[in-house]
């Protein structure tokens, strides 16, 4: 008897494949979706940790109590037992999908979006239901449309605000409405909140897990904190879901890295100082990008409300993958094709980041200017 095993294939991770292909072959990268990374010296100078005597061994698989307590300070209604430390936001999302989503479930996902948020549940056998964020309404989600999309087989509603790649933003009224729809339909709400700490002063948006027992939050030090290499993120939700994710994690990465966790502890103890530095970078660089876009008749954008990325639309005839490929290969400047964020509605867009060094941003934009003149 011959047994034929069903082979499951996951679609290539377009954005990460793009970075793999070009990131270290270009001279200037204005594609990044995070804040300029801190140096090790800068972070260590904020704390009194002694790294040289640290044993490079295993650590608690759920994260140390100290780190989980610091992470829990982000939330109003959650304590350290509602936190699971993960290897970045990527692992957090993967764990959540793996323990909660089954074949045949429906998962409603905002589009455009970061590919992991729809490719992983699709790989697990779920049906992806796009919830369109439309340019004509500033990429703000429509609750009436969400009500039309939910069904008895909806397992999860996936949101990402401040949003990647558009920089759009919801408020507590909208978040509460999303969570209520989830509760009414017995569906989880997965909220990717990696930019939450960069929300504008005075804007009221809480973490989703503070709004509903059905909500699950994902945070990371990669985007808002400038520590992507630490590979530290976390899940915030009910203790039952935390335990399920923890049990699954023991088969995947077991625990985070000890040095990354120590850096995370220093960073979270100095959250205010870090956010002050990062918002200064954003405010300065945002004005540069805004002035650059405004001088180009070929470009149109919905100004991002928060975060460090923008998603301009252009009027050139080149499709986004070809345009960005030529820019990387001919001019050695990296941006991200809009097509890699989900569907045809993102064509003739590109994502640009404004969280890194001002000097490189200005130089990169100048090179793009000359490229536009050449192809226009």
Average pLDDT over residues 54-75: 95
Comparing CA positions, the residue from 312, 305, 302, 303 lying closest to residue 335 is 312
pLDDT at 344: 74
Comparing CA positions, the residue from 105, 86, 91, 56 lying closest to residue 233 is 86
- Report yes or no on 311 lying in a domain: yes
Average pLDDT over residues 19-26: 97
Average pLDDT over residues 241-247: 98
Query: Which residues lie below 8 Å from residue 175, measured CB to CB, with a gap of 6+?
Result: 161, 191, 205, 206, 208, 211
**One domain for residues 254 and 276:** no
Instruction: Check which CATH number belongs to the domain holding 338 and give it.
Output: 3.90.1150.10
CB burial class (10 A; 0-12, 13-18, 19+) of residue 3?
exposed
**One domain for residues 20 and 59:** no
Instruction: Check which CATH number belongs to the domain holding 252 and give it.
Output: 3.40.640.10
Residue where one domain finishes, among candidates 206, 238, 269: 269
Comparing CA positions, the residue from 128, 96, 33 lying closest to residue 343 is 128
pLDDT at 6: 58
> When comparing pLDDT for 83 and 376, which is higher?
83
Q: How many CB atoms lie within 10 A of CB 336?
A: 27
Comparing CA positions, the residue from 293, 341, 301 lying closest to residue 135 is 301
**What domain range is 276 assigned to?**
14-40+272-375
CB-CB contact of 178 with 144 (8 Å): no
pLDDT tens for residues 126-136? 999 999 999 99
In the numeric block, which tokens belong to residue 294? 């405004």
Average pLDDT over residues 275-284: 97
pLDDT tens for residues 299-336? 999 999 999 999 999 999 999 999 999 999 999 999 99
Phi-psi region of 186 (alpha: psi -120 to 50; beta: other; left: phi over 0): left
**One domain for residues 316 and 195:** no
**One domain for residues 173 and 141:** yes
**One domain for residues 146 and 176:** yes
**One domain for residues 227 and 312:** no
- Report yes or no on 9 lying in a domain: no
Q: How many CB atoms lie within 10 A of CB 49?
A: 14
| Rounded Cα gap, residues 350 and 313, in angstroms | 7
pTM of the model: 0.95
Length of the chain as a residue count:
376
| Rounded Cα gap, residues 278 and 168, in angstroms | 19
Beta bridge partners, 240, equal none
pLDDT at 1: 47
**One domain for residues 146 and 167:** yes
| Rounded Cα gap, residues 153 and 237, in angstroms | 22
pLDDT tens for residues 143-185? 999 999 999 999 999 999 999 999 999 999 999 999 999 999 9
- Report yes or no on 6 lying in a domain: no
Residue where one domain finishes, among candidates 224, 241, 269: 269
- Report yes or no on 320 lying in a domain: yes
- Report yes or no on 247 lying in a domain: yes
**One domain for residues 211 and 225:** yes
As for how many domains the chain has, the answer is 2
Beta-strand pair 188-192/215-220: parallel
- Report yes or no on 165 lying in a domain: yes
**One domain for residues 250 and 277:** no
Average pLDDT over residues 205-211: 96
**One domain for residues 98 and 217:** yes
Query: Average per-residue pLDDT in the chain?
Result: 95
- Report yes or no on 45 lying in a domain: no
pLDDT at 114: 96
**One domain for residues 141 and 89:** yes
Average pLDDT over residues 108-113: 97
> When comparing pLDDT for 51 and 258, which is higher?
258
- Report yes or no on 3 lying in a domain: no
**One domain for residues 220 and 80:** yes
Residue 214 confidence class, pLDDT cut points 50, 70, 90: very high
Residue 50 confidence class, pLDDT cut points 50, 70, 90: confident
Residue where one domain finishes, among candidates 269, 284, 303: 269
């Amino acid at each position: 008897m011959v047994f034929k095993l069903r082979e499951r294939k996951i679609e290539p991770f377009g954005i990460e494949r793009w970075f793999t292909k070009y990131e270290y072959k270009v001279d200037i990268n204005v594609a990044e979706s995070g804040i300029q990374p801190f140096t090790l010296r800068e972070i260590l100078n904020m704390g009194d940790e002694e790294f040289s005597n640290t044993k490079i061994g295993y650590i608690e698989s759920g994260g140390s109590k100290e780190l989980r307590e610091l992470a829990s300070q982000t939330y109003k209604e959650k304590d350290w037992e509602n936190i699971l430390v993960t290897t970045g936001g990527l692992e957090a999302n993967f764990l959540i999908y793996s323990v909660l989503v089954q074949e045949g479930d429906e998962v409603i996902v905002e589009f455009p979006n970061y590919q992991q948020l729809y490719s992983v549940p699709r790989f697990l056998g779920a049906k992806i239901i796009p919830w369109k964020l439309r340019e004509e309404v500033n990429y703000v989600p429509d609750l009436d449309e969400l009500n039309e999309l939910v069904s008895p087989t909806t397992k999860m509603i996936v949101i990402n605000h401040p949003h990647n790649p558009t920089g759009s933003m919801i408020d507590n009224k909208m978040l509460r409405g999303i969570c209520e729809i989830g509760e009414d339909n017995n569906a989880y709400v997965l909220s990717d909140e990696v930019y939450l700490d960069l929300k504008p002063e005075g804007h009221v948006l809480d973490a989703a897990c503070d709004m509903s027992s059905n909500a699950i939050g994902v945070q990371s030090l990669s985007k808002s904190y400038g520590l992507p290499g630490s590979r530290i993120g976390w899940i915030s939700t009910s203790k039952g879901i935390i335990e399920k994710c923890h049990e699954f994690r023991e088969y995947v990465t077991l625990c985070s890295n000890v040095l990354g966790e120590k850096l995370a502890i220093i960073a979270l103890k100095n959250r205010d100082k870090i956010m002050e530095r990062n918002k200064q970078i954003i405010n300065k660089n945002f004005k540069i990008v805004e002035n650059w876009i405004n001088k180009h008749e070929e470009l149109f954008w919905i100004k991002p409300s928060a975060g460090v990325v923008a998603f301009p639309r252009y009027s050139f005839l080149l499709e986004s993958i070809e345009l960005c490929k030529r820019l990387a290969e001919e001019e050695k400047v990296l941006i991200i094709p809009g097509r890699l964020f989900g569907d045809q509605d993102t064509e003739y867009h590109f994502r640009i980041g404004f969280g890194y060094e001002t000097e490189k941003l200005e130089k990169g934009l100048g090179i793009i200017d000359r490229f536009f003149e050449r192809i226009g």
